Amino acid sequence: MLSGGITHSPRLGQQADPVDAHGTGRIVKFQQTYYVLDQEFRVLWVGGEWDEFALSNGGAGARANEVLSTSLMTYIADEPTRDAMSALVSAVLDMQQPLRLDYRCDSMTMMRRFQLTVQPMRDGRVLVVHDLRDAESFPQPLVPWQHDPDVADEKCSFCQAVRFGNGQWTPVMLLAEPHPARVAFCVCPDCQGRIDEAIAALRGKRAPRRTLANGFGPVGQNG
């Protein structure tokens, strides 16, 4: 999620949306980005629509040739998301089994649902794949937001829910006030629970006790 979600860092901004030209708001292009990491989280190889994604966000400095041999953690804005990604990759390396987890990475105009797959490879490497599985337009565009670690309002990098100050976590579709322009990215308690369960199930060699992937429900029911 180079991520402000998991793959899409706040440093790169919100990605342009692959929707049709007829105003239906449905996705017409299923995008995929992927990269190979070593045990030090260095990016060894990237593929899919990586450069298209970078350029669509004005991120010429994040094109494939620029990120190779740099640390993935450089592109994740907040410590909780860095810790989550580190724990997921470490579990896959330790158990030599793949792990899948659904997450959200919205733009200002679209709700976008992704699936993260972390797949073990030889020599202590992992393949990380981000598949765009579904997307649809918000009824009204959201206020553009930026990461600011010093503000009180928070945004979950996995489900995109927002918390104003010490209030309740609320899905963006259900916000009673405009989306804050500045947010501190973090991982909400519910998503941290999903991450912990994914890792516990993998390490315990058992099925997860809750839906972790392919569980996208109706709008507003999954963050």
Over residues 17-47, the pLDDT tens digits come to: 554 444 445 554 568 889 999 999 999 999 8
Note the pTM of the prediction, 2 decimals. Answer: 0.83
Query: Mean of the pLDDT values across residues 130-147?
Result: 90
The pLDDT > 70 percentage for the chain reads: 78
Q: What's the one-letter identity of residue 48?
A: G
Q: What is the pLDDT of residue 26?
A: 54
Produce one character per residue of 96-130: b if its CB has 16 or more CB atoms within 10 Å, e if not: eeebbbbbbbbbebbbbbbbbbbbbeeeebbbbbb
Q: What is the pLDDT of residue 53?
A: 63
Considering the domain 32-139+191-204, what is its CATH architecture?
2-Layer Sandwich (3.30)
Q: Which of 13, 90, 15, 89 is nearest to 53 (CA)?
A: 15
Q: What's the one-letter identity of residue 2?
A: L
pLDDT tens sequence across 168-197? 999 998 999 999 999 999 999 999 999 999
Higher-scoring residue by pLDDT: 222, 69: 69
Q: What is the pLDDT of residue 217?
A: 42
How far is residue 71 from each of residues 39, 84, 86, 193, measured CA to CA in Å? 10, 15, 12, 26
Produce one character per residue of 185-198: b if its CB has 16 or more CB atoms within 10 Å, e if not: bbbbeebbebbebb
Distance (Å, whole) CA 7 – CA 18: 16
